[in-house]
Structure 1
Amino acid sequence: MLQFTINEEACVRCGECVKDCPMGIIGMRDDVPFILPEKEEACLRCQHCLTVCPTAALSILGKNPADSLPLRGNMPTPDQMETLLRGRRSVRRYKQKNVDRDVLTRLMDITRSAPTGKNNLRLHFLLIDDMAVMDSIRSEVYEGILQRMAAEGLPEGMEFFGTLAKLWGRGMDIVFRGAPHLLWVTAPEDSPCPESDPYIALSYFELMAASFGLGTVWCGFAKWAFSSVLPHMKARLGVPENHTNGYVMMFGHPDVRYHRTVQRTEQTLHVVTL
């Protein structure tokens, strides 16, 4: 059941919910929106109808429009967004302290609102929220690399992990960059967009983390360690078997401060004309 309800006193009969429904499952009956019974199962549960209603007269899936954040007057300016986007850095130096639990909760709530193909909403978010746990996993991975080197050897193309493990023995954590926290996002292989959805979610996380003053780094080394060098870590950490390898992001309080944005215009821009 979609629990679709209309406050008829508040409804202004504008029809915006009908026009904006991606699946066309909303109609008008006696000038009041309603769900077309034969199309109810096609609902994506995207909540477009709830958000587009100008008078908060519409509820779906039991959601109270009053619990949504209002957009008018609360959106960042283009200049503020530009500063955030250009000022984001890949951080590889971290303070050895946990991120506040309330901040983590808010970050994950926002990240889990990221869009997925066809609103599939089946991403798996693996969070290491305590630096003591992260330290244990870190040591386990490096020890596992050394053990695999001594046994069957490292996979082809991954031999450089042997050097990384040796550097760990000298106090250098190249794989995880000394970060106190980790977020690994994966998607079911049978979802509509299993490759892109984890990247979209991590992009949400990265930018929101930056707004809290936290540092992040897209960590290919950690992804390769978990998926290629030590593939048993996928099950060990609780990633479902039928999920893609997704991507890993390290994060925490940065132990470095940047003072200005970068200046990048090198990448190709091709404008199509007729």
Structure 2
Amino acid sequence: MPEFSVDKEKCTQCGLCAKDCVAHIIDMDSGWPRIPKEKEIGCRKCQHCLAICPSGAVSILGKSPSQSTLIQGAFPDPDQMEILIKGRRSVRHYVDENLDPELMQRLLDVACQAPTGGNVRQVQLSVIDDKHMMDKFRQHTYDVVEKLANDGKLPDKRKVFANFVFLWQKKHIDVLFRGAPHLLVASAPRNISSPVADCVIALSYFELFAQTLGVGTVWDGLARCAIDELLSGVRKKLGIPEDHLIGAAMAFGKPAVHYHCTVENDNSNIVRCPVFL
């Protein structure tokens, strides 16, 4: 049930909520916005109707405008956003300490706002939020990979993981997790329309917001491969459902390095398509 309601003292009957409804289930037949009972099942739960109402009259899904943040004048300016995107770096050196729990939760809460295909919103974020637990997980991973290598059971495409074990044991170089105190794994049901894309988008939002809070991140495809293909039983310990596909992983924490300027990548991959007649 969408729990759609309208405060008639605030509503100006502008019809914007009906016009912007993705599912086209809001009508203005009575002069006031309403969702006929037979159409309630069609609600996409996107909350566009709440967000677009200029007078804060629309509530839905138990959410009201009073719980929301006003957007007007609050977005970063274009130059700031451009520098944020261009200045993002993959961090591979971290301070050996936990992030503040409130900061951690704020990051996760923002990542949960990321869009998903069809607004299914079924991305799960499994997080290792304690550095001591991360140390145990790190060592367990290297121990398992070492045993697989010694037993000749590493898949051909993962033979290079044996080199990572050598670097860890001999030089204490952590290639798999880059010494990060935390790990975030995004997963989603295999049967939804875009499980991998949904996971990548969620971690992209997490990453960009992390930069603004002084938190370093690195996309960790090696960890994703290890969890998905080599570490028997770890999925269950991370709380990842059996029907989920692991879309992406990201190591993160307080950076031990700081970058001072953007880099200059070329834009040679841009192709402008001709006009079709």
1:45 maps to a residue whose letter is K
Residues 196 and 248 in structure 2, CA contact (< 8 A), matched pair in contact too: no
Post-superposition CA distance 1:33-65 (Å, at most 9, x none)? 000222210111000000000000000011120
What pairs up with 1:53-72 in 2 under 5 angstroms?
A: 53-72=53-72
What pairs up with 1:69-88 in 2 under 5 angstroms?
A: 69-88=69-88
TM-score, normalised by the number of residues in structure 2: 0.96
Post-superposition CA distance 1:148-186 (Å, at most 9, x none)? 122242011100100100111021111000000000000
- The DSSP-based 3-state class of the residue aligned with 2:97 is coil
Deviation at 1:189, TM superposition (A): 0.5
Aligned residue pairs, count: 274
What pairs up with 1:100-139 in 2 under 5 angstroms?
A: 100-139=100-139
1:202 paired with 2:203, answer yes
Residues 93 and 180 in structure 2, CA contact (< 8 A), matched pair in contact too: yes
What pairs up with 1:167-206 in 2 under 5 angstroms?
A: 167-170=167-170, 171-206=172-207
2:213 maps to a residue whose letter is F
2:68 maps to a residue whose letter is S
Larger mean Cα displacement after TM superposition, 225-234 or 165-174: 225-234
Residues 50 and 60 in structure 2, CA contact (< 8 A), matched pair in contact too: yes
Q: Which consecutive residues of structure 2, in runs of 5 or more, have no partner in the other structure?
A: none
CA distance in 1, matches of 2:122, 2:96: 32
CA distance in 2, matches of 1:93, 1:167: 16
1:209 maps to a residue whose letter is A
2:229 maps to a residue whose letter is S
Residues 28 and 34 in structure 1, CA contact (< 8 A), matched pair in contact too: yes
Residues 189 and 242 in structure 1, CA contact (< 8 A), matched pair in contact too: yes
2:168 maps to a residue whose letter is W
Deviation at 1:230, TM superposition (A): 2.2
CA distance in 1, matches of 2:239, 2:152: 25
**Alignment partner, residue 146 of structure 1:** 146
Residues 10 and 56 in structure 1, CA contact (< 8 A), matched pair in contact too: yes
Post-superposition CA distance 1:40-97 (Å, at most 9, x none)? 1011100000000000000001112011010001011000100110000000000001
2:27 maps to a residue whose letter is G
What pairs up with 1:238-249 in 2 under 5 angstroms?
A: 238-249=239-250
Post-superposition CA distance 1:215-250 (Å, at most 9, x none)? 100011101111122243222322111111211100
- The DSSP-based 3-state class of the residue aligned with 1:244 is strand
Residues 185 and 247 in structure 1, CA contact (< 8 A), matched pair in contact too: yes
CA distance in 2, matches of 1:76, 1:175: 34
CA distance in 2, matches of 1:76, 1:18: 29
**Alignment partner, residue 211 of structure 1:** 212
- The DSSP-based 3-state class of the residue aligned with 1:127 is strand
Post-superposition CA distance 1:5-24 (Å, at most 9, x none)? 11111111110000100000
Give the root-mean-square deviation of aligned CA atoms: 1.1
Q: Which consecutive residues of structure 1, in runs of 5 or more, have no partner in the other structure?
A: none
CA distance in 2, matches of 1:67, 1:83: 30
- Poorly superposed stretches of 4+, deviation over 3 Å: none
**Alignment partner, residue 27 of structure 1:** 27
